[in-house]
Amino acid sequence: MDSKVELIVGDICDRESVKKAVKGIDWVVHFAAESHVTRSEKDPDIFYRTNVEGTKVMIEESIKTGVKKFLMISTDEVYGSIKKGAYKEEDKLPGDSQASSAYAKSKSLADDIAMDFAKQGCPIIVTRTTNNFGPWQFPEKALPRWITNLCIGKKIPLWGEGLQIRDWLFAPENAQAIEFILENGTLGEVYNVAANNMPELTNRSVAEMVCTAMGKEPDEWIDHIPDPRVDHDFRYAIDTTKLEKLGWMPQRDPEKQITQTVEWYTHNQKWWKKRKEEAEKIY
């Protein structure tokens, strides 16, 4: 690990742990969250504890220690699904959300808490981002699960027809956007962060890109299975005009980025194999 990085293991709901972590820090970027939708349906309480209570503790302790900027990572799922067009930042009102899963509802509440503190003058910014992917992502999530399945000779389990639409954003680009917003964003504001892939990407098209990057024939290696999620949100889309006017735009090269991600998982099987065994228990 880089000598400039200090790893502190703790519980974000434990005030003493958080106080130790943020003491002397100027900027806090709050990523910590339970984020797997399927797990949220089985155990919603832990999602409320971590995502809602944990966020409140993080903000309160950061304010007490004099943090100058607190950026909270939220999600496009707080807006809910949308058939046409794209949600703007102002489309989510405090206490109002079309979030459908326990995960999304917990993030919506956390989002509201952050904005409540911001209205009181606390130095807070919120980003709402789309589905991230890239190296180091745990194999419980769709894209790394698909890649690691192919690595071990298993097919990609694609839910339903695979026509659900998600705006896949490369994690390194999200990191760049966050850094840009920290340096240029306005306190008290919300910024949508997305790839704005055009044409829009269905889950099936992303699975096909994974197969192609790994030299597999999609029709042979994609297995359509019944969708286990009731009322599965069909399409997410957010408007990023506000961030673009501020000066940041993504590269929008999903095929290249998926290939880079595939290469990382192919060369780092020792890292993900044990984690995959645990991740598969979710399904």
Choose the catalytic residue: 76, 111, 167, 233: 76
Angle at 165 between CA 238 and CA 74, to 5 degrees: 40
Choose the catalytic residue: 34, 77, 167, 173: 77
Chain Cα centroid distance, residue 162: 20
d(CA 183, CA 272): 34
Give the Cβ contact number of residue 36 at 10 Å: 18
Is residue 77 flagged as an active site residue? yes
Is residue 112 flagged as an active site residue? no
* Joined tokens for residue 111: 């989002």
d(CA 215, CA 266): 12
* Joined tokens for residue 255: 């095929």
Q: Which residues pair with 202 in a beta bridge?
A: 165
d(CA 276, CA 282): 10
CB contact at 8 A, 192 and 76:
yes
Angle at 153 between CA 147 and CA 157, to 5 degrees: 55
Taking the CA atoms of 261, 266, 267 and 273 in sequence, report the sign of the dihedral they define.
Answer: positive
Choose the catalytic residue: 48, 103, 191, 265: 103
CB contact at 8 A, 28 and 69:
yes
Cis-peptide, bond into residue 199, ω within 30° of zero = yes
Is residue 236 flagged as an active site residue? no
The amino acid at residue 204 is R
Active site residues per annotation:
76-77, 103
